[in-house]
């Protein structure tokens, strides 16, 4: 009993530490009141922790959220309310995903769709509503700023789910490929360098159309490396795009915050969905193909057992010539 309690405590503290560290990274790109960002990684950390370690680690999410917000909130009561929203959102998202039969491997199309609609879109509306409402009620925001703040808060939390959670789920199940030859490693390096280079070019050039140059690399990653390649590529692309928007570079030059948010979140959402959906579809296709192969193999064994066997002289039954 004591060992189990100690293990749970360590997991709770680990979740709190990772949540806090991810929040500090997210706060480097604040857009609204120095605490609402276009990508909020802690939501992805929180949901991944709940999916991998169970609901018993929710106190770690609450502790991490409290430590982050205590220096940002207008009052202690507001901090507690925002912390409750930041904790409740991933917990509800986890419960909805479990209800939908979600699998952490993300190897089915239904799992990706559940993560998008239940985890990101529905679940994160809870934290956005509570957080924005608290800021308005405390006087930190004007009532007219509720919906702009809500949209940025919700989009940031949702992007944390779509970008960070799949990466952590892949990282948890990652294994060193023992059978990968030099060609496979060379392809992986070429994919990584190409993705980063093209993303830097697209996000440092004013032409918005160049953002579409990233899509072939995401498709390449999904087709050749499945989720293990698609999730890291999506995370890298989204991070570089956010850095460009924060630095007022490329297609984000000379635009207001709202216009940049629309462009950024549309690009990041397309990036995440393209990578995850294609990877899931290809993985499902591969699994179906392997199942068909196994069924055909078993069927061939059954058919071979049903075929008539020749007698001792080598003649099939009923074909022995008359003496």
Residue 248, pLDDT > 60, answer yes
Residue 123, pLDDT > 90, answer yes
Average pLDDT over residues 293-300: 89
Lowest mean pLDDT among 28-32, 52-56, 229-233, 262-266: 28-32
Residue 179, pLDDT > 80, answer no
pTM: 0.87
Residue 268, pLDDT > 80, answer yes
Residue 176: predicted pLDDT: 64
pLDDT confidence band for 64 (50 / 70 / 90): very high
Average pLDDT over residues 44-64: 95
Residue 84: predicted pLDDT: 96
Lowest mean pLDDT among 25-39, 91-105, 130-144, 244-258: 25-39
For the chain, give the mean pLDDT.
87
Residue 82, pLDDT > 90, answer yes
Residue 233: predicted pLDDT: 94
User: In the chain, what percentage of residues exceed pLDDT 90?
Assistant: 53
**3-state SS record for the chain:** CHHHHHHHHHHHHHHHHHHHHHHHHHHHHCCECCCECCCCHHHHHHHHHHHHHCHHHHHHHHHHHHHHHCCCCCCHHHHHHHHHHHHHHHHHHHHHHHHCCCCCCCCCHHHHHHHHHHHHHHCHHHHHHHHHHHHHHCCCCCHHHHHHHHHHHHHHHHHHHHHHHHHHHHHHCCCCCCCCCHHHHHHHHHHHHHHHHHHHHHHCCCCHHHHHHHHHHHHHHHHHHHHHHHHHHHHHHHHHHHHHHHCCCHHHCCCCHHHHHHHHHHHHHHHHHHHHHHHHHHHHHHHHHHHHHHHHHHHHHHHHHHCCCCCCCCCCCCCCCCC
User: In the chain, what percentage of residues exceed pLDDT 70?
Assistant: 90
């Amino acid at each position: 009993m004591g060992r189990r309690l100690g293990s749970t405590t360590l997991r709770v503290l680990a979740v709190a530490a990772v949540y806090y560290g991810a929040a500090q990274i997210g706060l480097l790109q604040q857009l609204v009141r120095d605490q609402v960002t276009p990508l909020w990684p802690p939501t992805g950390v929180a949901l991944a922790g709940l999916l991998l370690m169970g609901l018993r680690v929710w106190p770690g999410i609450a502790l991490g959220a409290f430590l982050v917000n205590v220096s940002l909130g207008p009052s202690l009561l507001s901090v507690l309310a925002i912390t409750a929203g930041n904790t409740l959102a991933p917990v509800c998202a986890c419960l909805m995903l479990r209800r939908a039969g979600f699998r952490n491997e993300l190897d089915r199309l239904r799992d990706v769709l559940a993560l998008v609609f239940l985890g990101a879109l529905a679940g994160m509306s809870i934290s956005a509503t509570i957080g924005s409402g608290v800021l308005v009620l405390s006087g930190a925001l004007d009532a007219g700023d509720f919906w702009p703040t809500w949209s940025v808060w919700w989009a940031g939390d949702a992007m944390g789910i779509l970008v960070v959670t799949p990466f952590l789920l892949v990282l948890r199940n990652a294994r060193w490929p023992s059978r990968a030859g030099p060609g496979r490693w060379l392809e992986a390096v070429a994919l990584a360098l190409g993705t980063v280079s093209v993303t830097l070019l697209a996000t440092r050039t004013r032409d918005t159309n160049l953002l579409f140059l990233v899509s072939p690399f995401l498709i390449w990653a999904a087709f050749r490396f499945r989720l293990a390649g698609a999730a890291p590529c999506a995370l890298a692309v989204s991070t570089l795009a956010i850095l460009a928007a924060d630095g007022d570079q490329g297609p984000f030059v000379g635009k207001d915050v709202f216009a940049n948010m629309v462009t950024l979140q549309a690009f990041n959402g397309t990036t995440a969905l393209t990578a995850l959906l294609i990877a899931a579809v290809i993985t499902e296709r591969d699994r179906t193909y392997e199942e068909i192969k196994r069924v055909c193999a078993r069927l061939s064994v059954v058919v071979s057992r049903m075929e008539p066997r020749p007698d001792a002289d080598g003649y099939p039954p009923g074909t022995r010539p008359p003496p």
